[in-house]
Structure 1
């Protein structure tokens, strides 16, 4: 059976509140747990009115407390925004509270624009090219091997699996060199997906954490009883992507019938590019499109992503997706 997990950006809908979004996230995680999702991840974004997961470690703790079995983690923490020691302490604390259930995905993007990045870091002298060194420093804190001369408390000896995230071949090269699992952000940046997976598998070196490559890819799924209903549900995220890519980010809007058909050439081009890795439709349509994605990529795990305005419709979409995924097999 194909492993399947959930990425939740904790969307704030138009007319809603952050408190409501966080409550929905906990409910969604409990629902995903009952449906057999492997893990539930939230991601670090800053300065975005439509995303409520900026304090990522805090949200992870809240979600882990609301569930009992599902793995909970970051997809991911943007490490250039933080000192590795601080992340070791945060996730060491989470591991102490929820042992054996915490994942830590690491990315090198800012999760914001340059103005917001400056507000977070106070200086932009942090070098994104130092990301590999930061990852290895973080590994050292968890291993408590003495290389840094500092014992992370909490953090030393914590059982927190690290993942490398990416939307280019850089992350694939790093994950392969360090022998870590790799997650590609194909749900919004699909261009380098095939090349990144090929590099990761070709160059992978076994490590203490992982004996063989483990690749995950993001995949948008909007599932409903009919193709028409699913297309309607997907229009909320489509509107958000167009708004973001044209410099007008917004909260998640209500669905609009016929939205995509009414877009001009620029908007249609944005969606055709950004949402290449998607399944939208009835159970049969989603099964066909998802199977094609798995056959193409050979990924070990699919990270399902979707932002749906109506919470109950989103839960139904996750249930259909779980049923579909349970009937698919990982390619040899």
Structure 2
């Protein structure tokens, strides 16, 4: 299906930060690095700075988007700051609106509220997505006409029931928690912000701070499922996830556009697409800096949780098996690494293939200054 594609040279670039903890470092230093990187991103001309939410990972300090947003917004002046994304699998709409209403009160007109389903809803529970209908499964890589790699889908069945997932559900959700449908949660958040929320019994409820907050609401998703459908039906902007789920990015964007209904927020679909990038002065240096990425992704996909990000030397010492490589192959081959010119060209392909209105880049290297340099080099190339 064709869709209007904005001029790639006019597409804004933004940053997603997981607040990674390098091997040998500490969570406190990771948070300081996040604040510094945000300042540099603002200086370089990035449009947004989003903070992720992850739990039970020894290598990621980004556990509370709201807390990190407060730190980043206080340390910057103009850049929009937001969540990419708040996980609704273990939060109530009221808690989200109150937190982000407070942030808007402190930093009016600068806060983005990105909402995610969270991939850890118990199968079969209320709020869990229904199983997708059977369809032929892509078993080989393919390339779009623009030249974007769409790898064969990663099979997540090995992670279902993993010890990490079990611990996660036990620790972030109350026993027997009855999760609402995702769309209902988003509806409640919007109603609380508008100030017209009613309980099922017809009673009013008001979130202060939160009611009337000038928040930009986003729905983020990794598939053509509940998130893309909700974003489209509600006429909200949608963030599609190429950096984690590259196989599904085109389906997610197309499902969103197909479901889109104009709203008071948007009169046409608005899509942001993420990518994992590492930029250096030349291709070889960038590949060296990015070399630990596979080992880090493997720690996540093997069910252990993200490890502290290794050095290139630590990564080089790892002896890979074929099974291990199979767990990370799609992510490694869809990471954009290279010189500013190389990565900018790959991002333009991603933008053209998806028709993205905005692009979101995330960068992880062991050395913080290499991350700073990566974002700075890319911004200089993109904007000039």
- TM-score normalised by L of structure 2: 0.81
Deviates more, 1:140-149 or 1:312-321: 140-149
Structure 1 partner of 2:52:
43
Q: Considering only CA atoms, is the larger Rg found in Structure 1 or Structure 2?
A: 2
Structure 2 partner of 1:132:
183
1:284 aligns with 2:341: yes
Q: Deviations over 1:5-63 (max 9, x none)?
A: 00000001111111111111000000000111110011111111111111221111111
Q: Deviations over 1:242-288 (max 9, x none)?
A: 12212333111112398499643223333321244321111222122
Structure 2 partner of 1:61:
70
Aligned-pair CA distance for 1:168: 0.9
Q: Deviations over 1:161-214 (max 9, x none)?
A: 111111111111111000000001210111211111112122211111222111
- Secondary structure of 1:192's aligned partner: helix
Structure 2 partner of 1:143:
194
> Which sections of structure 1, spanning at least 5 residues, go unmatched?
328-332
Computed over aligned residues only, the root mean square deviation of the Cα atoms, in angstroms, reads: 1.9
Structure 2 partner of 1:297:
354
1:1-332 equivalent positions in 2, closer than 5 A: 1-110=10-119, 113-127=165-179, 130-148=181-199, 149-170=204-225, 171-249=227-305, 250-256=307-313, 259=316, 263-327=320-384
- Secondary structure of 1:105's aligned partner: strand
Distance 1:93 1:276 in 2: 41
Size of the aligned set, in residue pairs, is 326
Distance 2:286 2:267 in 1: 39
Q: Is the 8 A contact 1:74 1:104 kept in 2?
A: yes
Per the alignment, do residues 5 and 224 of structure 1 end up closer, same or farther by CA in structure 2, a change over 3 Å counting? Answer: same
Q: Is the 8 A contact 1:188 1:275 kept in 2?
A: no
Aligned-pair CA distance for 1:125: 3.0
- TM-score normalised by L of structure 1: 0.93
Per the alignment, do residues 279 and 223 of structure 1 end up closer, same or farther by CA in structure 2, a change over 3 Å counting? Answer: same
Per the alignment, do residues 123 and 261 of structure 1 end up closer, same or farther by CA in structure 2, a change over 3 Å counting? Answer: closer
- Secondary structure of 1:280's aligned partner: strand
Aligned-pair CA distance for 1:241: 0.3
